[in-house]
């Protein structure tokens, strides 16, 4: 979590110090990176000299969450020029300097502002203010369902239609092509029922990573595919792109379903792989030969690969390592010119 706290009075700044300490202590296993800024002449030695709007512009690009310790009007005016869409906007919250209320102002579900407002309110013994209709009624929220289950919402207009249906008291029909048991059960789960795959075309929600998946309702894409990649030294970005696209196409998988690309650490600075990772937005991770060798399973073996890398198979073991112990193989090692690809899926 990368967060920003901005305070406009000395009292608010002291509250910010308290919240920052409580936040870090609450998440000490994975501490957040919190930037606390004072915008008050009462604290001349601490006051940030940048324009407030410049700070907020930078934070909208960099932060996962922004907490205003101020009046709501100040927050609204500050964020207004930078609003894009709830799928990309950070969580924005507002708290008064007396810590009476913590308001979820923006990106309540996808950005996590609702949950964060409840957490901060708990730390400070204040009242969380959450106005999202489905939260107010304790109903199923497709935004939250997608966020918690690592699903991509492909059509926000259809997502709104689903929320309207829930608020009208109508039951949702969900078809999932991934394990139902792997999906988190959220408040309002009894307002949705899972139906058979042959009803996908008429479902309200279809969860699928297939390229040819079709539904009149909302398609949610599970992000769980791990690509293991090996290559010759100096491989081009175009060669990497071709190999990835061909392999995904062969197994009828969408690129949006890819969570990560993985390889051995010898490839951590490979320009072609890094360029493809950057342009596609797919994160690239690497493991040591020892980490890959420790992965359980049956993999194809190459004495040449072992002589170069120290492990007899890179792409399959890297994909399996990224997918975790409960992951499963989709595609064994496949050669595309100077690139080898293997596909695994997380459970």
- H or E stretch covering 74: helix 72-79
User: Does residue 257 share a domain with residue 201?
Assistant: no
> Looking at residue 100, which CATH number applies to its domain?
3.40.50.11220
3-state secondary structure (DSSP) of residue 59: helix
CA–CA separation, 302 and 290 (whole Å): 16
Quick one: pLDDT at residue 131?
A: 86
β-sheet with 172-176: strand ranges across: 151-153, 218-222, 205-207, 172-176, 192-194
**What is the reported pLDDT for 71?**
95
Mean pLDDT for back-to-back runs of 10 residues, the chain (347 residues): 96 96 90 95 93 96 96 96 91 96 91 91 93 69 88 92 87 91 78 86 93 93 97 95 97 97 95 97 95 87 71 89 94 95 95
Domain boundary among 131, 154, 174: 131
179 φ/ψ angles, rounded to the nearest 5 degrees: -60, 125
Residue 320, Cβ neighbours under 10 Å: how many? 24
Instruction: Specify if 326 maps to a domain.
Output: yes
Angle at 174 between CA 171 and CA 178, to 5 degrees: 155
* 248 lies in some domain: yes
Count how many domains the chain has.
3
Write down the pLDDT at residue 187.
Answer: 66
Q: Is 136 inside any structural domain? A: no
Phi, psi of 327 (to 5 degrees): -75, 165
Structural domain that includes position 199: 142-222
Q: What's the CATH number where 182 sits?
A: 3.40.1390.40
- DSSP label at residue 97: T
User: Is 137 part of a structural domain of the chain?
Assistant: no
pTM over 0.85: no
pLDDT in the model for residue 135: 62
Q: Identify which of 257, 2, 277 has the alpha carbon closest to the alpha carbon of residue 150.
A: 257
Query: CA-to-CA distance for 130 and 66, rounded, in angstroms?
Result: 16
Positive/negative CA dihedral, 111, 112, 114, 118: negative
Looking at residue 277, which CATH number applies to its domain? 3.30.420.180
Q: Tell me the per-residue pLDDT of 41-74, one tens digit each, with 9 for 90 and over.
A: 999 999 999 999 999 999 999 999 999 999 999 9
307 lies in the same domain as 279: yes
Q: Do 150 and 90 share a structural domain?
A: no
């Amino acid at each position: 979590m990368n967060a920003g706290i901005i305070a406009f009075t000395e009292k608010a700044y002291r509250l910010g110090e308290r919240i920052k300490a409580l936040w870090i202590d609450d998440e000490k296993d994975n501490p957040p990176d919190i930037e606390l800024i004072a915008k008050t002449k009462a604290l001349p030695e601490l006051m940030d000299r940048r324009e407030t709007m410049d700070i907020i512009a930078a934070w909208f690009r960099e932060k996962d969450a922004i907490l205003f310790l101020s009046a709501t009007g100040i927050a609204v005016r500050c964020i207004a020029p930078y609003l894009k869409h709830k799928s990309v906007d950070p969580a924005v919250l507002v708290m008064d300097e007396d810590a009476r209320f913590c308001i979820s102002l923006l990106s309540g579900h996808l950005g996590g502002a609702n949950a964060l407002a409840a957490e901060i309110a708990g730390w400070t013994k204040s009242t969380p203010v959450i106005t999202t209709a489905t939260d107010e009624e304790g109903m199923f929220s497709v935004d939250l369902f997608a966020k918690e289950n690592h699903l991509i919402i492909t059509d926000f207009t259809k997502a709104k239609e689903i929320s309207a249906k829930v608020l009208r008291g109508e039951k949702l029909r969900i078809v999932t092509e991934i394990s139902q048991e792997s999906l988190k059960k959220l408040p309002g789960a009894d307002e949705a029922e899972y139906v058979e795959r042959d009803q996908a075309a008429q479902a309200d929600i279809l969860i699928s990573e297939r390229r040819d998946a079709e539904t009149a309702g909302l398609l949610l894409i599970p992000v769980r595919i791990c690509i293991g990649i090996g290559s010759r030294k100096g491989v081009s970005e175009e060669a990497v792109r071709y190999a990835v696209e061909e392999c995904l196409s062969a197994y009828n998988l969408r690129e949006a379903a890819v969570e990560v690309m993985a390889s051995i650490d010898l490839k951590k600075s490979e320009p072609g792989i890094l360029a493809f990772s950057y342009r596609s937005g797919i994160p690239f991770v690497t493991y040591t030969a020892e980490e890959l060798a420790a992965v359980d399973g049956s993999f194809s073996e190459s004495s040449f690969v072992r002589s170069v890398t120290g492990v007899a198979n890179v792409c399959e073991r890297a994909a399996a390592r990224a997918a975790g112990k409960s992951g499963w193989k989709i595609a064994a090692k496949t050669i595309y010119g100077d690139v080898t690809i293997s596909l695994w899926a997380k459970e």
